[in-house]
Amino acid sequence: MAAINTDLSKIGYTYEDIQRMAQVILSNTNLRPSIGIICGTGLGGIADVVENPVTVSYDTVPGFPVSTVKGHSGKFVFGTLSGKPVLLMMGRFHYYEGYPMWKVAMPVRVMKAMGIETLLLTNAAGGLNQSYKTGDIMLLKDHIDLPGLTGECVLIGKNDERQVFGPRFLATNGTYDSDFRGKFLRVATELGHGDLMKEGIYIMIGGPTFSSTAEARVLRMFGADAVGMSTVPESVVGRHSGMRILGVSLITDMVELEDGSQFQVTHEDVLRTANERAQLMQKMFLKFVTLID
Ligand SMILES: O=P(O)(O)O[C@@H]1C[C@H](O)[C@@H](CO)O1
């Protein structure tokens, strides 16, 4: 059995670490966006429609982790979308990359320290609800934090109640803003793609293995509509610091619930579907941000 870690100074970033990283990043631009977007696997295409982009590579920020996954380029992009200032994270961190959970979502605290109040999270996910299809877009109405339920909650560790952190004990019901969901659905319908839209429950697994068929049946029995390997730590930290949150899953593959299927999903399948939906996601976000107060 692993030794219990009693040295709390080795868990988490301090308030000062977060502020320092925020200052380094902000020193690259005069823009001060209040909208932050984290781009999921292959979903960085939104950056192609950012006007007057200013790019800040993660490796220029001392103490910032590096992206190791294909489809996550590892940089911030400041600019405007439909004239509104935004900050994009092109590349998120995943638990399966070997980062401890508190590191996975640390950038959300840095975003808060930079002035972000609205957090738009995107991800690639597998469809568990068998009425979904590859290429559908699911708005998160709730999530299941499977790592959190089994002892790997992102908020474990010392808590600092100053601005970029939050209360020791956090209610996580109602994390995903229902007004945002309604607006996003309206945008999709106006663009003629209401048929692709779903609202459902995202379950996070640690990864990097995709689910076995028996595991997938369990996830579905839990009530999840889509499965992925991210987002939940970020939305919990965003919620902790008082942000308004939208979660969008692109259903990049359908997960088999019946034994005997020959289909085996790959990361390339995920990237391909994300690429096929890139232009539509751009259009949706360009329109959606105009509706954020
Ligand atoms: O960063 P997201 O959650 O969009 O990435 C998903 C989950 C894995 O990282 C990867 C699997 O292909 O895509």
Mean pLDDT across 102-127 = 97
pTM (2 d.p.)? 0.96
Considering only CA atoms, which residue is closest to atom 8 of ligand 1?
229
Q: Is the pLDDT of residue 87 over 50?
A: yes
* CA of 139 relative to ligand 1 center, distance in Å: 16
Confidence tier at 42 by pLDDT (50, 70, 90) = confident
Task: Give the pLDDT score at 22.
Answer: 97
Confidence tier at 1 by pLDDT (50, 70, 90) = very low
> Residues near 138 by Cβ (< 8 Å), separated by ≥ 6?
125, 127, 132, 197, 198, 199, 200, 202, 225, 226, 248, 249, 251
Per-chain mean pLDDT for the chain: 94
Mean pLDDT across 244-256 = 98
**Contact yes or no for 130/235 (Cβ under 8 A):** no
274 pocket-lining for ligand 1 (C-beta < 6 Å): no
Q: Is the pLDDT of residue 283 over 50?
A: yes
* CA of 111 relative to ligand 1 center, distance in Å: 21
Which ligand 1 atom lies nearest to the CA of residue 69? 9
41 pocket-lining for ligand 1 (C-beta < 6 Å): yes
232 pocket-lining for ligand 1 (C-beta < 6 Å): no
Confidence tier at 71 by pLDDT (50, 70, 90) = confident
Q: What is the DSSP letter of 157?
A: S
ipTM value greater than 0.90: yes
* CA of 40 relative to ligand 1 center, distance in Å: 7
Measured distance CA(93)–CA(231) in Å, rounded: 10
Ligand 1 pocket test, pick from 230, 235, 248, 265 with the greatest ligand atom count within 8 Å of Cβ, gives 230
Confidence tier at 158 by pLDDT (50, 70, 90) = confident
- Of 10 and 190, the structure prediction assigns the larger pLDDT to 190
> What proportion of the chain, given as a percentage, has pLDDT over 70?
96
Q: Nearest to residue 231, comparing CAs of 107, 65, 57? A: 107
Mean pLDDT across 173-199 = 98
Which ligand 1 atom lies nearest to the CA of residue 266? 12
Which ligand 1 atom lies nearest to the CA of residue 72? 1
Q: Is the pLDDT of residue 50 over 60?
A: yes
Which ligand 1 atom lies nearest to the CA of residue 269? 12
Residue-wise pLDDT tens digits, 23-38:
999 999 999 999 999 9
Ligand 1 pocket test, pick from 120, 123, 205, 254 with the greatest ligand atom count within 8 Å of Cβ, gives 123
* CA of 277 relative to ligand 1 center, distance in Å: 15
247 pocket-lining for ligand 1 (C-beta < 6 Å): no
Q: Nearest to residue 29, comparing CAs of 55, 63, 47, 58? A: 55
Residue-wise pLDDT tens digits, 209-242:
999 999 999 999 999 999 999 999 999 999 999 9
* CA of 125 relative to ligand 1 center, distance in Å: 7
HEC sequence for 177-246? CHHHHHHHHHHHHHCCCHHHEEEEEEEECCCCCCCCHHHHHHHHHCCCCEEECCCHHHHHHHHHCCCEEE
